[in-house]
Amino acid sequence: MLQNLSIRDFVIVSQLDLDFSTGFTVLTGETGAGKSILIDALSLALGARGEGGVTRAGSEKAEISAIFNIQQNMEAQNWLDEAEIEHDALELVLRRVMYSDGRSRAFINGSTVTVAQLKELGEYLVDIYSQNAHHSLLKSATQRNVLDDFGGVSTLAAEVATYYKVWHRLHLQRVEAERNAGLYADELAEVRDQIRELSQLAITPEEWEELQQEHHKLSNGASLLSGGETCRELLSENEVSALQMLTQIQHKLQGLAEFDTSLNEAAETLDSAIIQLEEVDRFLNRYLQRTELDPARLAELDNKIQTLHTTARKYRIQPEGLTALLTQSQVRMQELELFADDGALAQQEAVALADYMQSAERLSAARKTAAIKLGDKISTEMQRLSLAGGKFEVALTPQAPSVNGLEQVDFLVAGHAGVTARPLSKVASGGELSRISLAIRVVTAQKENIPTMIFDEVDVGIGGGVAEVVGQLLKQLGEDGAKQRQVLVITHLPQVAAQGRHHLRVSKSQVNQQTLSTIEVLNESARVDEVARMLGGLEMTEITRQHAREMLAY
């Protein structure tokens, strides 16, 4: 639930802090006062795409913060857990900063996030329904999604789509295999030959490095032996060797230390050096004993390295990449063997189709049940919206297996009794479409878990008694006792405004030669004046005030 919206330096808003409550809230104001600014600001906080020019004139940045209570919103809590963003399961803070140069930053509970993450989380928090949203109902995809959401089968529909993609891929593979059987057979023979060759030569980067090191060592064997012998002679074998000279120095220092004990430190250091040199001498001795010239092994390595280079050049890769090429060839061989075995591929396709059909038939049955219920409920609401005798139907037309299931979903409408229902796009006028759209929204919203719903002037083109019914429907949605829900409606109709539990008014004024927009919470007296203004226009009379009191039941 939305608890607070804070706006700083946004368009024509200097500073705004607004608290929200549960239930039905109406937002009114004169044309051009900036009613849509609140929706625009909240949309940005929810991850809407930002555009330039949203910062107030003379400001470097605009800042929007929205605080939500998510204690009952498990979907939002689960999203935060998966995103590894800290939260206390009570309060959630979304923040968006828009700079004058077009840059923006997004935050969730103080953690920097992407705008995409902000939008993804926002889908669990608020549903904004604009006055033009009903036009999307003319699209087949929207109608299908509305039905699936109402029937609670969106997850099943996604499962059907996944099964279809698996089956369709296998189907295309089988068709391709049948069409290119000869080409695949030739390629399979080539790949098998390639695998036989590579299996004997394939070498990992680590093995290639070890092979080169061993070859380098054997190639320089004579230098290693002669060099090692020279080192040993200098260390210990010559008549005047390094160890002999150091030993003599050590004895001399030990004798001098009898006269000055401070020389003991030098003697001890020299003793450590002699021990280390002796260890070097022993190491060289062991190394020379196990090192020998091996012309046969060197020739073997020469031949192997040459073969690897020749094979690598053949396939235009480096020697160390032969193992990766072998793996790729083995994968390709499996694919080609599957193509070659028409029976195995056809069997896999049949299994995939069976999985799809089983899931799709379940979806069809669920859609059939949901279509009847949705049609009945919306038909009932249409009667209340002055579409007497009107009827709403959901037609399910069988079609070939597709990613969307086994049927085409179409919304059909009969505007009054005795008329055959026809597709929504062909029969509904602007006013009828607006009312039908609202009926659909009210019915389907009862199935949703979104705690905050915003309707942005969805009552355009509606007036008279119908407007009062629209207000009652929206109030009913906001006062649903089964769910703690917020419904915020931006309206220009007094019949709708009078139904609200809470009333906010947007106004515009000139401050220091700047146009600024403010929003205030109205008390009973101010509500009477606002509804009277909506009823009577610029001149407010006692008659319009009395009418407003009657509408507000004050």
Residue-wise pLDDT for 131-185, tens only, equals 666 667 788 888 999 999 899 999 999 999 999 999 999 998 888 777 766 677 7
pTM exceeds 0.75 for this model: no
Low-confidence winner among 68-82, 355-369, 370-384, 478-492 (lowest mean pLDDT):
478-492
Can you give the pLDDT at residue 90?
86
Structure tokens at 413: 């409408």
Mean per-residue pLDDT, 278-293:
80
Domains and CATH numbers, the chain: 1-125+501-521 (3.40.50.300), 188-338 (no CATH), 523-554 (no CATH)
Handedness of CA 529, 534, 538, 541 (dihedral sign): negative
Can you give the pLDDT at residue 375?
94
Those residues whose C-beta lies under 8 Å from the C-beta of residue 485, and which sit 6 or more positions away, are: 1, 22, 451, 452, 453, 477, 478
Residue 482 confidence (pLDDT) above 60: no
Region of residue 271 (phi > 0: left; psi between -120 and 50: alpha; otherwise: beta): alpha
Can you give the pLDDT at residue 252?
86
Can you give the pLDDT at residue 476?
80
Can you give the pLDDT at residue 429?
61
> What is residue 462's DSSP assignment?
-
> What is residue 136's DSSP assignment?
G
What stretch of H or E contains 327? Answer: helix 322-340
pLDDT classification of 49: cutoffs 50, 70, 90? confident
Tell me: the pLDDT tens digits for 504-520? 998 887 777 777 778 88
Can you give the pLDDT at residue 297?
74
Can you give the pLDDT at residue 11?
85
Q: For the chain, what is the largest distance between any 2 Cα atoms, rounded to a whole number of angstroms? A: 130
Can you give the pLDDT at residue 461?
66
The angle formed by the CA atoms of residues 521, 524 and 530, to the nearest 5 degrees, is 70
Tell me: the pLDDT tens digits for 175-223? 877 776 667 777 778 888 888 888 877 677 788 888 888 777 777 666 7
Sheet with strand 452-456: strands edge to edge: 126-130, 452-456, 486-490, 23-29, 502-511, 514-521
Residue 446 confidence (pLDDT) above 60: yes
CB 35 within 8 A of CB 19: no
CB atoms within 10 A of CB 47: 21
Mean per-residue pLDDT, 317-322:
84
Distance between the two ends of the chain, CA-based, in angstroms? 29
What stretch of H or E contains 422? Answer: strand 422-423
Residue 67 confidence (pLDDT) above 90: yes
Higher pLDDT, 425 or 532: 532
Mean per-residue pLDDT, 8-26:
87
